[in-house]
Amino acid sequence: MASIELNSVSRIYGSGASAVHAVKGIDLKIEDGEFMIFLGPSGCGKSTTLRMIAGLEPVSGGDLLIDGARVNDVDPAERDLAIVFQNYALYPHMTVRANMAFGLKLRGLPRSEIDTRIADVARVLSVEPLLNRRPAQLSGGQRQRVALGRALVREPRAFLLDEPLSNLDAKLRSVMRTELVKLHRKLGTTMVHVTHDQVEAMTMGTRICIMRGGEIVQVGRPQEVYRNPADTFVAGFLATPPMNLFPGRLEARGDSLVLVAEGAEIPVPAATAPGWGGHAGREVIIGLRPEHLAEAPEGPAPAALQLSVETVEALGPETILNLRLGRNGPEIAARLPADGDWEAGQPVTLHADTARLHLFDPATTRSIPRGAAHAL
Amino acid sequence: MRPKLAVLARHLVLAGFSAAIALPLLWVLRVSLTDKLTAYKLPPEIGQIGLHNYAEVLTQYDFGKWFGNSVAVAVAATLVSLPAAAMMAYASARYRTGGWPLLLGVLASQMIPPIVLVLPMFLVFMTLLPVPGLVAITIAHVAVNLPFMAWIMVSFFDADTRSLEEAARSDGASRWQAFRMITVPVAMPGIIAAGLLGFIMSWNEFLYALILGDHGSQTLAVGLASMETHAGVNIAPLAAATLLALAPVLVLLPFLQKYLIKGLSLGALK
């Protein structure tokens, strides 16, 4: 059990003019027992951060604390953290049993204790029949389980998972997602999971830490981040299809605010967004999630949009429409129930739930808060 | 019809090359089984076949001693240089110790003709380090083979074992434990291949063994050469001795091939 704290932690490769700042002084506190997800595109510094926590990568600046103790210079062997790698990194010359026993033997645990722990973990992960095999004789999913098992038997202070699911096929990945969540609930041990898969991020973590360009963009519970993205990057990264983002202008007309975009005017009752009043007359980026467009009016303040269908993606349980706003407006996506019957080129009227609209400042890309009345 | 012709043509070319490589050896084999007079006859005759030359080599010459010296030098040189070369290769692969200049320097040192190095080495062993002949030869072989073996092994220690080591490190292993318990066993085929290559190079080496050795420390290469005397070449026993000297290398070659391929395909072991 451990809390992990990063205070202005940075990682710089090289020096002088050619120095690359992979992680730029990030602050984060991972609470004891938390399941924290590092989410971001490749090269955002999420794996480097995980490797710094593990001790496999030196910390260039700032302080890294585990359970309140500074561990910047503590050897990885002394940190008592277990890491599961994307390529599993199973020792190819050892059997599954020996792979699992390796860390325990190094710690000098008695033989009987080692055997008991391996038997327990092997049962939990259903790898008992594989114990005497070598990694080369295992399938991808089995290797993944063994890698996890090797971490579990150690009973470490925290688990560090470096994209462990990304080499699995879609079906197995969703099974392992559930397994990991169950495991976390059962053990209550701190877990830090690095991924670029936003489905993993949304479904597994107690909190998500979204990174970009070596910096933390937003940290929060998955639903919180989904509902209130801090900027256009987060809005455009989470969920598939992501939030529609298009330029517009916020205007005040009497009691009401109106968002004017190419091909549409969207009235927003001022009372639902007191925070936006001050931005009237300015250019904004309008954010509208595909799932907040519907055929029938929904929510307290619906607004009708005239659109034409560009392409239809019938996914089975739902249909994704790619639409053109107005005549020459931006292309936006809508997520609708599967029972509709749409064709490319067909004009449609959809209703946007304006209570769930987001506005972003085009200069900073940061979200413009709706203010107190926003209670959704 | 055409593919068959192409296959035939290819096989003819290959047969030509094979003959070019095998004929001298077959010639030596023939000579070793005949007598001196038949050996020089053209067109070649098989004549009386027997093992008398082998018997002569084993009884009339110091063959046993040469063989023993060769074994001693090659084994000692390999055992000394292999661990050192492995550690050097590891340092270069993992920590970029010395960077590319070191690797280039190592390679460049292999391009220097041995004759350039052997005289200074002779002086060193004459004046500064007066050790017995066999020790001097062994040291010389270590000096020549170690960089070469390290150079071969660098690629075996590259990226693929890195994440295994990192796993071992967070499993609680020290750097040394991770190297010894994970990296070395995983890279073992490559290490064995480098060791076999070093052994064979040492076994076949002639110049250092000739210059640095004394009469008591003649290795096979030097011993065989001494069978060419002012009185003439005793060709038939020499052929027999040559084949006997080749035997250990022929035994090792299949292993070398096996481990070299295994070592080179380490990356496939994910």
Q: What is the CATH number of the domain that holds B168?
A: 1.10.3720.10
Burial of A110 (0-12, 13-18, 19+ CB in 10 A): exposed
d(CA A127, CA A120): 10
Residue A83 to chain B, least CA–CA distance (Å) = 7
Please write the tens of the pLDDT for every residue from A84-112: 998 899 999 999 999 999 999 999 999 99
Please write the tens of the pLDDT for every residue from A2-24: 899 999 999 999 888 888 999 99
What pLDDT, on the 0 to 100 scale, is given for residue B270?
Answer: 39
- Residue A270, pLDDT > 90, answer no
Closest to A106 (Cβ–Cβ): which among B163, B177, B270?
Answer: B177
Across B2-11, B49-58, B71-80, B207-216, the highest mean pLDDT is recorded for: B71-80
Residue B81 to chain A, least CA–CA distance (Å) = 25
E strand or H helix at A26: strand A20-30
- Residue B266, pLDDT > 60, answer no
What pLDDT, on the 0 to 100 scale, is given for residue B265?
Answer: 63
A71 touches chain B (CB under 8 A): no
B12 and B86 both lie in a single domain: no
Please write the tens of the pLDDT for every residue from B210-250: 888 888 889 999 998 888 877 778 888 889 999 999 888 88
E strand or H helix at A165: none
Inter-chain residue contact B186 with A81, CB threshold 8 Å: no
User: Can you tell me the ipTM of this complex?
Assistant: 0.80
- Residue A302, pLDDT > 90, answer no
Nearest Cα residue in chain A from B167: A89
Mutate to test the interface with B, among A13, A87, A91 (most CBs of B within 10 A): A91
Tell whether B56 is covered by a domain. Answer: no
- Residue A231, pLDDT > 90, answer yes
B103 and B25 both lie in a single domain: no
CB count within 10 Å of CB B145 equals: 27
Closest to A89 (Cβ–Cβ): which among B166, B172, B173?
Answer: B166
Report the predicted TM-score, pTM, of the whole model to 2 decimal places. Answer: 0.81
Closest to A107 (Cβ–Cβ): which among B169, B172, B186?
Answer: B172
Please write the tens of the pLDDT for every residue from A238-264: 888 999 999 999 998 877 889 998 888
Q: Residues of chain A with pLDDT > 70: what percent?
A: 98
DSSP letter assigned to residue B113 = -
pLDDT class for A225, splitting at 50, 70, 90?
very high
B46 and B75 both lie in a single domain: no
Touching B: A residues 278-317, CB under 8 Å: none
d(CA A43, CA A58): 17
What pLDDT, on the 0 to 100 scale, is given for residue A372?
Answer: 62
Which residues make Cβ contacts (< 8 Å) with residue B244, sequence separation at least 6? Answer: B54, B57, B63, B67
**Residues of chain B found within 8 Å of residue A90, distances taken between Cβ atoms:** 167
pLDDT class for A233, splitting at 50, 70, 90?
very high
A87 touches chain B (CB under 8 A): yes
Burial of A90 (0-12, 13-18, 19+ CB in 10 A): buried
What pLDDT, on the 0 to 100 scale, is given for residue A190?
Answer: 95
Across the strands, what pairs with A312? A321
Give me the number of domains chain B comprises: 2
Please write the tens of the pLDDT for every residue from B160-173: 788 899 999 999 99
**Residues of chain A found within 8 Å of residue B164, distances taken between Cβ atoms:** 89, 91-92
B41 and B152 both lie in a single domain: no
B44 and B70 both lie in a single domain: no
What are the tokens at B120? 């200074």
Q: Show which of B50, B75, B90 is a domain's final residue.
A: B50
Closest to B167 (Cβ–Cβ): which among A55, A85, A93?
Answer: A85
B43 and B66 both lie in a single domain: no
B24 and B117 both lie in a single domain: no
**In this structure, what is the dihedral angle of CA atoms B82, B87, B93, B97, given to the nearest 10 degrees?**
-130
**What integer best gives the mean pLDDT of chain A?**
90
A75 touches chain B (CB under 8 A): yes
The amino acid sitting at A159 is F
- Residue B268, pLDDT > 70, answer no
CB count within 10 Å of CB A182 equals: 11
B65 and B23 both lie in a single domain: no
Alpha helices in chain B (DSSP H): 2-33, 36-39, 52-60, 63-95, 99-111, 114-123, 133-154, 162-170, 175-178, 184-204, 207-212, 220-226, 235-264
Mutate to test the interface with A, among B171, B186, B188 (most CBs of A within 10 A): B171
Region A154-162 average pLDDT: 93
Q: Which residues of B touch A (CB under 8 A)?
A: 163-164, 166-174, 177, 181-182, 185-186, 188, 269-270
CB count within 10 Å of CB A205 equals: 24
B217 and B105 both lie in a single domain: yes
pLDDT class for A375, splitting at 50, 70, 90?
very low
Inter-chain residue contact A54 with B170, CB threshold 8 Å: yes
A85 touches chain B (CB under 8 A): yes
d(CA A248, CA A261): 4
B176 and B220 both lie in a single domain: yes
Nearest Cα residue in chain A from B169: A77
Nearest Cα residue in chain B from A148: B167
What pLDDT, on the 0 to 100 scale, is given for residue A374?
Answer: 43
Region A316-345 average pLDDT: 88
C-beta of residue A149 within 8 angstroms of C-beta of residue A102: no
B122 and B177 both lie in a single domain: yes
C-alpha of B162 from chain center: 30
Domain that holds residue B247: 61-269
Nearest Cα residue in chain B from A155: B171
B79 and B193 both lie in a single domain: yes
Q: What is the interface size between A and B, counted as CB pairs within 8 Å?
A: 62
d(CA A47, CA A38): 8
Residue A129 to chain B, least CA–CA distance (Å) = 21
